[in-house]
Amino acid sequence: MRTPITTYLSLAVLLVLLVALPTLADLANYPAFTSVATRVLIYGIAAASLNFVLGFGGMVSFGHAAFFGIGGYVVGILYQHYSLGEPLFGVFPGSNQLLVTVPLAVLVSGAMAALIGALSLRTGGVQFIMITLAFAQMLFFLFVSLKTYGGDDGLIIRRANELGGLNLRDRPTMYYLCLTIAVSFLFLLWRIVNSRFGNVLIGLRQSERRMAALGLSAYRYKLAAFVISGMGCGLAGALMANFMRYVSPDMMHWTKSGELMVMVILGGVGTLFGPFIGAGAFIMLESLLAAWTENWQLGLGFILLLLVLYTNGGLQALFSRLFRRDA
Amino acid sequence: MTRPILNVTGLAKRFGGLVATDNVSIDVRPGEIHALIGPNGAGKTTLISQLLGELPHDAGSIELEGREIGNLSTARRVHLGLARTFQVTCLLPDYTVLDNVAIAIQLRQGHSFRFWGNVRKDNALRKKARGFLRDAGLDDRAEVVTANLSHGEQKQLELAVALATEPRVLLLDEPMAGLGHVESEQMIAMLRGCKERVSMILVEHDMDAVFALADRVSVLVYGRIIATGTVEEIRENAEVRTAYLGEGEDLC
């Protein structure tokens, strides 16, 4: 099957629009929109990471906020040690360099995902959902009680990380950084999903029994996917910490895991763009409904219900059907 | 007599008080089709699952080409040359027919920790998969999503996928179940066609197929093999008649 030229065209148009977004937001006299879009991109990376195991691999993890939070805390803790001039564990100096903190955040969340995944993936189904949730909650309470790093109140990062001569406090700069990373991340996911590894992962979702009968040892592939997914969430968390200049245990609360899952379902489970669309829809709905009523989750719930019942594959599927082409 | 390629001795499995497999010994010689018949609930599918290692057995030994495989994982056994088909078809429903065969070949080619190249643009892999589809008579259905295949085609695909793993011994769990007359004839012809390359254990209720294909037949009743012999010997065996063929007359 060849990808139709219209797909490439619409992707190009989309990219141009995304690049022009800060300028358009300024022209529309609504510069805050750039910040909203940045949030969407960051949550999109996290949701796409979750979707990698949930949608493509069929592993319903209810603890992905843990990796999001860890990514954020790596940035926050490194900054605290940097600003106080005290080395971490008496050995490692802190850092405020984005090129140090973000890769470290990705590595640490990957290691954490390896640990949690190695234990959780011995189970399946409902047990897997519960055990991932339990691990995430354990981490949540660990950080709540970690007074050195702010406990309940979280950590304030007074100045965003440095990256060359860029000022990451500047809204458009941060937006372009997140856009670059999100596009690269999506490209990477696209390659993995269509690779031999992705083939095995999607096969496992469809029938683990069949894959076993073909001679596959499922565990190591699922674990590798889980680690990749955890790293993606850690990346998003590290970006979020820089964007908000604040981290708190709330980033790894179970409701955050739920929000990520809602974004995936809104956008379309097992699709590449779905999680980004879902993140966009979620954040728009959150701000629209919250302006209208305090109980905005009720409205969101109804919308989610309608989408699940009637779109048969989330917003991405709905859009594809509207424009009459295959997803 | 040639040495058996698959040799099972004293295999036993119990689920609590239920003895599912009771001291079963069965062997398959190279190029042979060894049919396993028996009434429903005799433990035929349970036996296949134990041979492939999906279910652990409690006692006994399983040797493939002289090598004990009873303590190996399913994946290892498949790599050493065992394959099975499923009674209730077990395929990848969202994938195309071609994808289903290609993934079997992919797994045969070694580990899949390759994250970059597009697997659907791997022409060597696709070409090889098409070869297996042609043998199975499914080449014009290659791009159809598997869930949309007819039952008979899914059964054919089951066989094509199993053959794509290039097994030494194939464990067939009722390949004729639910097939019409013409489809059964096709399946029989296909199985006969690959018999030279692959030895088989054939679990089947369709007696016409069993008598047409089998070199030897074993009869399994309540987890025990009560008789093994050529087709003629089994037809003449009084114990088998009462246990199985007698009550199964209307089955055929």
Mean pLDDT of each 10-residue bin along chain B, 252 residues long? 89 92 95 93 93 95 95 96 95 97 96 94 96 94 96 95 96 93 93 93 93 94 92 87 62 44
Out of A195, A206, A212, closest to residue B119 by CB: A195
Looking at beta carbons, which residues of chain B come within 8 Å of A197? Answer: 112-115
- Helices A274-292, A32-51: axis angle to 10 degrees equals 130
pTM: 0.93
pLDDT at B1: 60
Residue type, A244: M
Q: Does B17 touch chain A (CB under 8 A)?
A: no
Taking the CA atoms of residue B89, residue B90, residue B92 and residue B94 in that order, the dihedral angle to the nearest 10 degrees is 50
B227 and B246 both lie in a single domain? yes
How far is the first Cα of chain B from the last one, in angstroms, to the nearest whole number?
A: 32
H/E element, A229:
helix A218-244
Structural domain containing residue B136: 91-166
- The CATH number assigned to the domain holding B17 equals 3.40.50.300
Quick check: is B151 in a domain?
yes
Shortest CA gap B29–chain A (Å): 22
Looking at beta carbons, which residues of chain B come within 8 Å of A202? Answer: 94-95
B101 and B199 both lie in a single domain? no
pLDDT at A327: 40
Which of the residues A190, A193, A210, A269 would you substitute to probe the B interface, choosing the one with the greatest number of B C-beta atoms within 10 Å?
A210
Looking at beta carbons, which residues of chain A come within 8 Å of B73? Answer: 217
Rounded to 5 degrees, what angle do the CA atoms B49, A221, B46 make?
5
Task: Extract the tokens encoding B95.
Answer: 């994938």
Question: Which of these three, B134, B166, B198, is where a domain ends?
Answer: B166
Distance, in Å, from the CA atom of A316 to the CA atom of A313, rounded to the nearest integer, reads 7
Q: Domain extents for chain A?
A: 32-251
For chain B, where are the alpha helices, taking DSSP H only?
44-52, 74-80, 97-108, 123-135, 151-164, 181-194, 207-213, 231-236, 238-240
B22 and B132 both lie in a single domain? no
Looking at beta carbons, which residues of chain B come within 8 Å of A196? Answer: 106, 112, 114-115, 117, 119
Distance, in Å, from the CA atom of A60 to the CA atom of B57, rounded to the nearest integer, reads 31
Distances (CA, A) of A11 to A194, A201, A229, B162, B238: 18, 26, 24, 40, 74
Q: Do A213 and B79 touch (CB under 8 A)?
A: no
Distance, in Å, from the CA atom of A5 to the CA atom of A13, rounded to the nearest integer, reads 12
Q: How many domains does chain B have?
A: 2
B177 and B63 both lie in a single domain? yes
Quick check: is B119 in a domain?
yes
Quick check: is B86 in a domain?
no
B235 and B184 both lie in a single domain? yes
pLDDT digits (tens, 9 = 90+) for A282-325: 999 998 898 888 888 898 999 999 988 888 888 888 888 877 55
Shortest CA gap A1–chain B (Å): 9
Residue pairs spanning A and B at CB distance below 8 A:
88
B71 and B192 both lie in a single domain? yes
